[in-house]
Amino acid sequence: MMQRHVKSNVITFNAMISACEKSGEWEQAFSLCREMAQSMIELDTITFSASISACQKGNQWDKALQLCRAMVLSKVEANTISCSAMVSACEKAGEWEQALQLVSTMVQSSVKLGTITFNAVMSACQRSYEWENTMHVFSIMALSSVKPSVLTFEVAVNACEQAGESR
């Protein structure tokens, strides 16, 4: 059988990174991003979204944050998927400050955020006994016309209970 060499491009790398994300191989996804940069292949929104999601699923919030910073420096437009994955990674790591900062930046940049993203940052704040920040995010959610879920209200109620306990 004749062997052919396929020239790698952003599409082939994105397919590999997406496969890594789905199979829980965050290290390989992260490594492929570095390989793309070294090969002068431009990383795009799909590249960053899949890589950030892979790191988030692997509980590697610090790597996800590195990718988020690289995304900003590369001037690649963030989307709901990349932002949600980043906030979820911060939430799982208990990094409520990072999650809060990311949501603030996304809102200012007019990135469309959904209920899941807002719930993640609210949960991160609430679990760290940051009830005031939890309620602040809840108000941003309302101002953004994002429909709350049952979980949204549960987190808000828990934050209010914490506020009562701290007085």
pLDDT at res. 118: 93
Percent of the chain with pLDDT strictly greater than 70 = 95
Cα-to-chain-centroid distance, residue 58: 13
Contact 117, 83 (CB under 8 A): yes
- Taking the C-alpha atoms of residue 139 and residue 66, their distance in angstroms, rounded to an integer, is 29
Contact 65, 90 (CB under 8 A): yes
Contact 122, 88 (CB under 8 A): no
Helices 45-57 & 61-73 angle (0-180, nearest 10) = 170
Between residues 109 and 57, the one the model is more confident about: 57
Counts of helices then strands in the chain (DSSP H, E):
9, 0
Contact 26, 58 (CB under 8 A): yes
For residues 124-138, one letter each, b for 16 or more C-beta atoms within 10 angstroms of the residue's C-beta and e for the rest, the string is: bbbbeebbebbbbbb
pLDDT at res. 163: 77
Q: pLDDT digits over 95-147, tens only?
A: 889 889 888 888 887 778 889 899 999 999 998 999 999 999 999 999 989 99
State mean pLDDT over 50-55: 92
- Mean pLDDT of all residues belonging to the chain: 87
Identify the sign of the CA torsion 143, 148, 153, 159. Answer: negative
Q: pLDDT digits over 13-37, tens only?
A: 999 999 999 998 999 999 999 999 8
pLDDT at res. 1: 45
Cα-to-chain-centroid distance, residue 31: 18
